[in-house]
């Protein structure tokens, strides 16, 4: 399959936990990565592989994968977590990357 | 400082051409694969093209294959994309991205580790 599906929008109360999901057949056999994009800024990588965070990314962000679904969990959401989040994986047949459509996270 | 700086964007007519450049600094450029990822106004991310560290392998999205050509000059720490026969749907901010590619049969990946600020390409008459 060549698609990754994300919910367009999700909201969370300040300090609560939220899960952002990404579904697609490619996730059964390939790693996912997650990108955060704030308005007017370039995306940044926040999670890659099993659950790796680049330097500077807070440990309240974590990731998991099960079957055809990858998830990004934010535990104790902060105002600065409000952003668009994109998942990414790979089409195994073509070895070409895929992006999900993005999820806009609102922190209430 | 580790940095990617895109240039070359602008307004071009449909059917026209444009060459974007990406100047890298602060890391061993030739050791890394690189990609172009674009984002149409108000839309999501779309991978456009990628190139291996030594330039031997290139990859294209179906939407640009045959129209775009990616290349790099490791002596100048610079990556390029030559865009021909541009269409309205090519209008987007184009990001230069340092990339990690795991081309494995199982558990493969493309990770986009470092992003430039982007350059806007507008295709319009």
For A26-77, the pLDDT digits (tens) are 999 999 999 999 999 999 999 999 999 999 999 999 999 999 999 999 999 9
CB A48 to CB B47 under 8 A?
A: no
Phi and psi angles of residue A27, each rounded to the nearest 5 degrees, phi first: -75, -15
Q: What is the pLDDT of residues A86-101, one digit of tens each?
A: 999 999 888 899 999 9
Phi and psi angles of residue A25, each rounded to the nearest 5 degrees, phi first: -60, -30
CB A31 to CB B47 under 8 A?
A: no
Q: Given a cut of 60, is residue A1 above it in pLDDT?
A: no
DSSP code, position B55: S
What are residue A34's DSSP bridge partners? A47, A87
List of E strands, B1-125: 3-7, 10-12, 18-25, 33-39, 45-51, 58-60, 68-73, 78-83, 92-102, 109-115, 119-123
Q: What is the pLDDT of residues B24-75, one digit of tens each?
A: 999 999 999 999 999 999 999 999 999 999 999 999 999 999 999 999 999 9
> Please, what is the Cα angle at A92 between B94 and A73, to 5 degrees?
70
**Whole-angstrom Cα distance, residue A58 to residue B64?**
36
Q: Given a cut of 90, is residue A19 above it in pLDDT?
A: yes
Q: Find the farthest-apart pair of alpha carbons in chain A and give their distance in angstroms, rounded.
A: 41
Mean of pLDDT over chain B: 97
Please report residues of B whose CB lies closer than 8 A to that of A85: none
Say if A51 is an interface residue toward chain B (CB within 8 Å).
Answer: no
Q: What is the pLDDT of residues B79-124, one digit of tens each?
A: 999 999 999 999 999 999 999 998 887 888 999 999 999 999 999 9
- pLDDT over 90 for what percent of chain B? 94
Task: Look at residue A94 in the predicted model and tell me its pLDDT.
Answer: 87
Say if B1 is an interface residue toward chain A (CB within 8 Å).
Answer: no
């Amino acid at each position: 399959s060549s698609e990754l599906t994300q919910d367009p929008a999700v909201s969370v109360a300040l300090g609560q936990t939220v899960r952002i999901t990404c579904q697609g057949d490619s996730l059964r056999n390939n790693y996912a990565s997650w990108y955060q994009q704030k308005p007017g800024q370039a995306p940044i990588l926040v999670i890659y592989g099993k659950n790796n965070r680049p330097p500077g990314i807070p440990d309240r962000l974590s990731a998991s994968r099960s079957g055809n679904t990858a998830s990004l969990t934010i535990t104790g959401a902060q105002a600065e977590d409000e952003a668009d989040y994109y998942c990414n994986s790979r089409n195994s047949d073509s070895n070409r990357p895929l992006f999900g459509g993005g999820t806009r996270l609102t922190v209430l | 400082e580790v940095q990617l700086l895109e240039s070359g964007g602008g307004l071009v007519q449909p059917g026209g051409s444009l060459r974007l450049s990406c100047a890298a600094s602060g890391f061993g450029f030739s050791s890394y694969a690189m990609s172009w990822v674009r984002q149409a106004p108000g839309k999501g991310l779309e991978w456009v093209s990628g190139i291996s560290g030594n330039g031997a392998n290139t990859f294209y999205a179906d939407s640009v294959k045959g129209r775009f050509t990616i290349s790099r000059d490791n002596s100048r720490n610079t990556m390029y994309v030559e865009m021909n026969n541009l269409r309205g749907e090519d209008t987007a901010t184009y990001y230069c991205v340092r990339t990690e590619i795991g081309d494995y049969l199982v558990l493969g990946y493309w990770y986009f580790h470092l992003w430039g600020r982007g350059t806007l390409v507008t295709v319009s008459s």
